[in-house]
Amino acid sequence: MEPLRSLILAAARNNAVRDLVASAPGTRALVERFVAGADTASAIEAGRGLVDAGLSVTMDYLGEDTTDAALAEQSVQAYLEMLDALRVTGIAGQAEVSVKLSALGQRFDESLALALAERICARAQRCGTTVTFDMEDHRTTDSTLRIVGALRREWPWVGAVLQAYLYRTAADCAALAGPESRVRLCKGAYAEPADVAYPDPHEVDLSYVRCANILLAGDGYAMFGTHDPRLVRIITERARWYDRKPGSYEFQMLYGMRPQEQLRLAGEGEKVRVYLPYGRQWYGYLMRRLAERPANLSFFLRSVVSR
């Protein structure tokens, strides 16, 4: 992993850095750029705007690494409220939810996380939409795939995320590329050691293409989460090669990242879904975005220096 990226991801766990980021003048602008508001109503408003522009969305109620069952229950309530709101506003056909299992207590009680995830999936089914479970750091990969596997027995449309930076991911793609599966492929956003993940970004890109080929050759629904223009081009070509029509796979990008590109792809007939985070627990999410992109980081650092 590149030194700057691993430095930021390590600093993200430091309380002094957290306080500095929270109080920096540029933080509010960055949060507003990448987070679609603090509550369900503002997320629905942003989501509706994207749907009206021809895009799909996946709503992410921010929160992770919960160590408390009461907070995990709060996350569930937020998702149930969001799912009902998607149904009532009539956008459930173009909008689903993305969930981090660590926000449901996965780190301290896997069976609790499964039980809470079941409630979210049952409500999603009733509201006419789907759920995709985000993938977090590699210590949770097996647990997340176990939970997703259990959920898929009742709700085969439950989606999983796989991270191209992990050595294991080509094998996980092959295991999950069967009928009815939904898999989001992304590069991976966490600080991972070299014994589990490719340290070289070029190797990650090669792995992404290998994994994309496996998913496109399979029978499932493939979702490509990337802003990388080279990967978007390669996947568009490979999809044609595998005779995949737009709508049998999709591109996904994060809210606030390459919005013109999102619209351009949709204008070319591709299905494009925007990952739309909302809520107050934006810190971990924002730090991963800073670590990914020097342009975001320099914008933020300028605001700290000019205090």
Show which residues are catalytic: 134, 184
Shortest CA distance to 164 belongs to which of 107, 222, 245?
A: 222
The minimum distance between CB 127 and ligand FDA, in angstroms, equals 21
Select the span of 64-72, 114-122, 149-157, 249-257 touching ligand FDA (CB under 6 A).
Answer: 249-257
Chain position carrying tokens 């309380």: 15
163 appears as a binding residue in the annotation: yes
Q: Answer yes or no whether residue 254 interacts with ligand FDA by CB under 6 A.
A: yes
Q: Which residues contact 64 (CB under 8 A, 6 or more apart)?
A: 100, 102, 103, 136, 281, 284
Q: Which of residues 6-65 bind ligand FDA (CB under 6 A)?
A: none
Which alpha helices (DSSP H) does the chain contain, by range?
3-11, 15-23, 27-34, 40-52, 69-88, 110-127, 141-154, 169-176, 201-217, 229-241, 259-267, 283-292, 294-305
CA nearest neighbour of 116 among 124, 130, 104, 127: 104
**183 to 242, contacts with ligand FDA by CB under 6 A?**
186-190, 225-229
Least gap, CB of 288 to ligand FDA (angstroms): 7
- Looking only at residues 121 through 180 of this chain, which bind ligand FDA when binding is defined by CB under 6 A? 134-135, 161, 163
Please, what is the minimum distance in Å from the beta carbon of residue 296 to ligand FDA? 8
Q: How far is residue 71's CA from residue 11's CA, in Å, rounded to a whole number? A: 25
What are the DSSP calls for 236-268, one per residue? HHHHHHTTPPTTSEEEEEETTSSHHHHHHHHHT
Query: Is the Cβ of residue 16 or residue 281 nearer to ligand FDA in the bound state?
Result: 281
72 assigned to a ligand binding site: no
The footprint of ligand FDA on this chain (CB under 6 A) covers a number of residues equal to: 22
Q: Cβ 259 to ligand FDA, closest distance in Å?
A: 9
Site string for ligand FDA, 277-296 (x = CB under 6 A): ---------------xx---
CB 255 within 8 A of CB 36: yes
Which is closer to ligand FDA, CB of 109 or CB of 228? 228
Taking CB under 6 A as the binding criterion, the range among 10-18, 113-121, 181-189, 233-241 that sits at the site for ligand FDA is 181-189
CA 60 to CA 80: how far, in whole Å? 12
Helix axes 283-292, 294-305, angle to 10 degrees: 110
Residues 254 and 289 sit within 8 Å (Cβ to Cβ): yes
Q: Give the one residue of 275, 278, 282, 300 binding ligand FDA; rule: CB under 6 A.
A: 275
Check whether 115 is labelled as a binding-site residue. Answer: no
Residues annotated within a binding site: 100, 135, 163, 187-189, 226-227, 288-289
Residues within the interface to ligand FDA (CB under 6 A): 134-135, 161, 163, 186-190, 225-229, 252-254, 257-258, 275, 292-293
Residues annotated within a binding site for FAD: 135, 163, 187-189, 226-227
